Chain A
Amino acid sequence: MGPRLHGDDYMVGANAAMLMMVVKRMLIAVPSLIGVVIVTFLLTRALPGDPAAYFAGPAATNEAIEQIRVKLGLDRPLYVQFIRYVGDLARGDLGNSLTTGQPVGYEIKTRLPASAELTLLGLMVSMAIAVPLGILAATRPNSVIDHVCRVVSTAGVSLPVFFTGLILIYVFYYLLGWAPAPLGRLDVFFSPPPHVTGFYLVDSLIAGDGEVFFSSLKQLVLPALTLGIFSLAPIARMTRASMLAVLASDFVRTARASGLTPFTVIVTYAFRNAMLPVITTLGMVFSFLLGANVLVEKVFAWPGIGSFAVEALIASDFAPLQGFVLTMAVMYVVLNLLIDVLYGLIDPRVRIEA
């Protein structure tokens, strides 16, 4: 039972080492962020669309388009635009979105929690189904449950999310009438809870408003399920593979030989040791879902960051695109950092290698 034998004294040195690692990782992230800023700036400028023509509207003259171009500062040379962009960025100003008319920073601040809440819940749904399924499949390889696990996860990943979403709406809203209208985060007749975290579930609890809590929970069920079904595959497969490897190892055999119950062996000993690759997968799946829930947001009229970015892309709206990519880049960096820290807590062996 290797990993459980380390003493607590070891932890003091380990904490300092971990801090070092965190700092090191953050420094490594700086060049990539600079790269992201430059590349997104150039890429958005390389888009074929002309925002001035788009926003001048269907009845504008060339003169009107030119006026808008000047107002947007798009008549200036590229390097001047870039210097201005970096200058604004340094002051924390991400610019204004033309499609929604709001500052990008504000949009991201209000929309990110919507996406994050949905994605987290989707991930929880996915874990709640995939992890037990993976464990069961691993304990009985090639049995019926193993095949069920294979079929469910393959089906989940092969159905496009918008399709799953529309089917769920069709069945549970249109035909059965169980689910609420797919109208975003809250029923039309409720107003959002006072802003604390931006997560309606959390904020409504803080405000002690049960009605809003249940309303937003009801709105979340179908989209979270859609996302959950989509992300079943990697989690279930990873759990199964990792459990199979651990179950075949010596310490599990020893535990079994010592007469421990199968439950204790599987959950207490085997699963904890199999968690590491699952956590890695979770991190990947989370960041992947955050980007991939664009379609779910479209289907459920969810005011998230994904649908915001797509709308901006269609309109060649530079500022929100740059802001979106930058936010995503920062989130990836933070998320990966967090996962590395989690590793250390779950499995001390990782710290030795670090």
Chain B
Amino acid sequence: MKRREFLKSMTALAAGGVLPAAPAIWSPAKAQSRQETLLIVSESGPNNIDIHGVGTNVPGYEVSWNCYDRLISHEMKTLPNGVQYYDRDKFRLELADDMKVGDMSVTFKLKKNAVFQDGTPVTAKDVKWSLDRAVTVGGFPTFQMGAGSLTKPEQFVVVDDNTVRVDFLRKDRLTLPDLAVIVPAIYNSELVKKHANEKDPWGLEYTKQNTAGSGAYRVVSWNAGTEVILERNDKWVGGPPPKVRRIVWRMVPSAGNRRALLERGDADISYDLPNKDFVELKDLGKLNIVSTPYSNGIQYIGMNVKNPPFDNLKVRQAVAYAIPYQKIMDAVLFGLAKPMFGAPAESPTEVAWPQPHKYNTDIAKAKALLAEAGYPNGFETTLSFDLGFAGVNEPLCVLTQESLAQIGIKCTINKIPGATWRTELNKKVLPLYTNVFSGWLDYPEYFFIWCYHGKNSIFNTMSYQSKELDALIDGAVTAAAEGDKTAYDKDVKGFVDLAYADIPRIPLYQPFVNVAMQKNVSGYQYWFHRRLDYRALVKG
């Protein structure tokens, strides 16, 4: 090309770029489609739309929940504040038409008219294949099934085309509830098998991108990190037909923008905004804000009891008296959490979890305890937190650092990136840290097995060991399986009391799940997994 031509053509190109392009032909307003579409905005989206996948993240669970059916699910109950809350003790039949609980097994009859999204009927074969898959693929799904004593494919028996039996490995109160969590979803086995191969016998590659269930919604388009679009499955028989035809779920990383979108009325629902925004939105009154405490979840300060100085009970008590509980509630959470501290001294221990402990901020007492423990001048340590939740963790740790300094404990704050947090926690060497644990199954003994039992699961982040506590937990598990309420109540009270007397971890509060919705959106339900259930949502 010659220079002059080049320069000329560049000029022409530039001029062309400035000219207005093709005239727009505006189609009539898409009001109808807007009315039937629900726009959800959240910070992050799924990385896999199958909960059985390798490393499926929590947003992926939400897709699975809405696109697949389980044999059973839970009924709803209404909380005093009007929020619909899942009822832990009442099951609702979803794919099952009938459930008969025997002594060592449970038998399900399937709904005769239940079909997968491609029209093939749901059979007992599909159920067995799906449950086999859950206990075999490994990773999180297998682990979750194991929590309800569901570990072997032999436990799932096809009785006839329409009937399936689940045999119990042992008597376990958690077996039935574990069949109602997200993991035991029922897959279209023939469809998935078509896409399976030797390397991938369970067709995980296919279900990672495609929904193959009988659920109320199906994914029509998924652009990772950008959006998920779901459409209603009109053939769904698992419950009352959903009202919203189309769900558009967009990822908006900036919290400020999510709030702006809500306030401008462009987005219908968002549920991960900073607490401060939720409080302000609540005060503005333009939106519906629903706050519900995490079921069976607690944010706590943990101490490594294996090593000094936190192996000393008096030191742990001193820390428990030096935490600025109320300041954390006010300045960090803006009141959006349920306090787990400062129960009146005379109040009896309840058969419930979580429940508040009796420690309160009392610097003088903390100082005295620390002196008794042999640290009159305090000591130095590090206070660690997960940067992935820095919005809450950072101010919480700074306040705690300030308060502990008053009794002579000098903390260095150690910020650990989200990707490393679990590895660091797993090493069980962090002396002092804050963290959240919450269990899907809302039973006190479930929480304690994971967090306090001497078998030292990864959630026993304190490396706490107590034969006495183990005996109480095991006792409660057995009592629950046998239906012995007196023994159960005694053991639960026993382990709560002991955990609070020995105080290896200091509960701070029960976090809230905050959901902000437009005024014309209703039907929000709180579920143990804390994600949205689209099936009940109504717009307009």
B422→A346 contact, CB < 8 A: no
Q: Which residue of B lies closest to A98 (CB)?
A: B55
A59 contacts B by Cβ under 8 Å: yes
A345→B1 contact, CB < 8 A: yes
A260 contacts B by Cβ under 8 Å: no
Q: Which of A20-28, A208-216, A327-335 is near enough to bind chain B?
A: A208-216
CA distance A312 to B417 in the complex (A): 13
In the complex, which residues of chain A have a beta carbon less than 8 angstroms from the beta carbon of B27? 211
Q: Is the interface of A mostly helix, strand, loop or mixed?
A: helix
Q: Which residue of B lies closest to A344 (CB)?
A: B3
Q: Which of A86-142 contact B (CB under 8 A)?
A: 97-102, 107, 110, 124
B25→A210 contact, CB < 8 A: yes
In the complex, which residues of chain A have a beta carbon less than 8 angstroms from the beta carbon of B25? 210-211
Q: How far is the CB of A354 from chain B (nearest CB, A)?
A: 15
| A50 with B419, Cβ < 8 A, contacts A174-B263, A213-B21 known | yes
Q: How far is the CB of A285 from chain B (nearest CB, A)?
A: 17
B253→A101 contact, CB < 8 A: no
Q: Which of B69-77, B118-126, B220-228 is near enough to bind chain A?
A: B220-228
Q: Which residue of A lies closest to B417 (CB)?
A: A49
Instruction: Tell me how many residues of B have a C-beta within 8 Å of chain A.
Output: 66
A213→B260 contact, CB < 8 A: no
Q: How far is the CB of B56 from chain A (nearest CB, A)?
A: 7
In the complex, which residues of chain B have a beta carbon less than 8 angstroms from the beta carbon of A210? 21-26
| A174 with B419, Cβ < 8 A, contacts A68-B55, A98-B55, A188-B250 known | no
B253→A182 contact, CB < 8 A: no
In the complex, which residues of chain A have a beta carbon less than 8 angstroms from the beta carbon of B250? 183-184, 188, 301
A307→B47 contact, CB < 8 A: no
B253→A307 contact, CB < 8 A: yes
Q: Write out, one digit per residue, whether chain B residues 254-270 have a CB within 8 A of any chain A CB (1) or not (0).
A: 10110011011011000
CA distance A63 to B138 in the complex (A): 9
The residue that A59 contacts in the complex, of B24, B30, B140, with Cβ under 8 A, is B140
Q: Write out, one digit per residue, whether chain A residues 45-82 have a CB within 8 A of any chain B CB (1) or not (0).
A: 00111110111111111111101100110000000000
In the complex, which residues of chain A have a beta carbon less than 8 angstroms from the beta carbon of B420? 48-50, 316
A62→B423 contact, CB < 8 A: no
CA distance A189 to B32 in the complex (A): 11
B7→A59 contact, CB < 8 A: no
A183→B253 contact, CB < 8 A: no
In the complex, which residues of chain A have a beta carbon less than 8 angstroms from the beta carbon of B142? 64
A353 contacts B by Cβ under 8 Å: no
| A303 with B225, Cβ < 8 A, contacts A60-B140, A173-B264 known | yes
Instruction: Tell me how many residues of A have a C-beta within 8 Å of chain B.
Output: 66
Q: Which residue of A lies closest to B50 (CB)?
A: A101
Q: Which of B33-41, B104-112, B358-366, B374-382 is near enough to bind chain A?
A: B33-41
In the complex, which residues of chain B have a beta carbon less than 8 angstroms from the beta carbon of A307? 225, 253
Q: How far is the CB of B29 from chain A (nearest CB, A)?
A: 10
In the complex, which residues of chain A have a beta carbon less than 8 angstroms from the beta carbon of B224? 97, 99-102, 107
In the complex, which residues of chain A have a beta carbon less than 8 angstroms from the beta carbon of B1? 345
The residue that A211 contacts in the complex, of B26, B223, B263, with Cβ under 8 A, is B26
Q: Which residue of A lies closest to B26 (CB)?
A: A211
A8 contacts B by Cβ under 8 Å: yes
B30→A213 contact, CB < 8 A: no
CA distance A335 to B385 in the complex (A): 43
CA distance A211 to B266 in the complex (A): 19
| A56 with B17, Cβ < 8 A, contacts A189-B33, A299-B254 known | no
CA distance A307 to B24 in the complex (A): 32
In the complex, which residues of chain A have a beta carbon less than 8 angstroms from the beta carbon of B349? none
A99→B225 contact, CB < 8 A: yes
CA distance A47 to B457 in the complex (A): 26
| A62 with B426, Cβ < 8 A, contacts A100-B225, A188-B248, A299-B257 known | yes
B260→A174 contact, CB < 8 A: yes
In the complex, which residues of chain A have a beta carbon less than 8 angstroms from the beta carbon of B539? none
A124→B55 contact, CB < 8 A: no
The residue that B140 contacts in the complex, of A47, A57, A99, A214, with Cβ under 8 A, is A57
A221 contacts B by Cβ under 8 Å: no
In the complex, which residues of chain A have a beta carbon less than 8 angstroms from the beta carbon of B256? 166, 169
CA distance A208 to B27 in the complex (A): 14
B252→A182 contact, CB < 8 A: yes
In the complex, which residues of chain B have a beta carbon less than 8 angstroms from the beta carbon of A72? 54
Q: Which of B3-51 contact A (CB under 8 A)?
A: 3, 6-7, 17, 21-27, 30, 33-34, 37, 39, 41, 44, 46-48
18 A-B residue pairs with CB within 8 Å: A48-B420, A57-B55, A60-B139, A60-B140, A60-B458, A62-B426, A68-B54, A101-B209, A169-B260, A173-B260, A174-B263, A174-B264, A181-B264, A183-B41, A184-B250, A210-B21, A210-B24, A299-B257
The 8 A-B pairs at the shortest CB distance, nearest first, are namely: A55-B55, A49-B419, A100-B224, A210-B24, A316-B419, A303-B226, A50-B423, A53-B422
With A100-B47, A169-B256 already in contact, 4 other A-B pairs whose C-beta atoms are closer than 8 Å: A61-B143, A189-B34, A189-B37, A210-B23
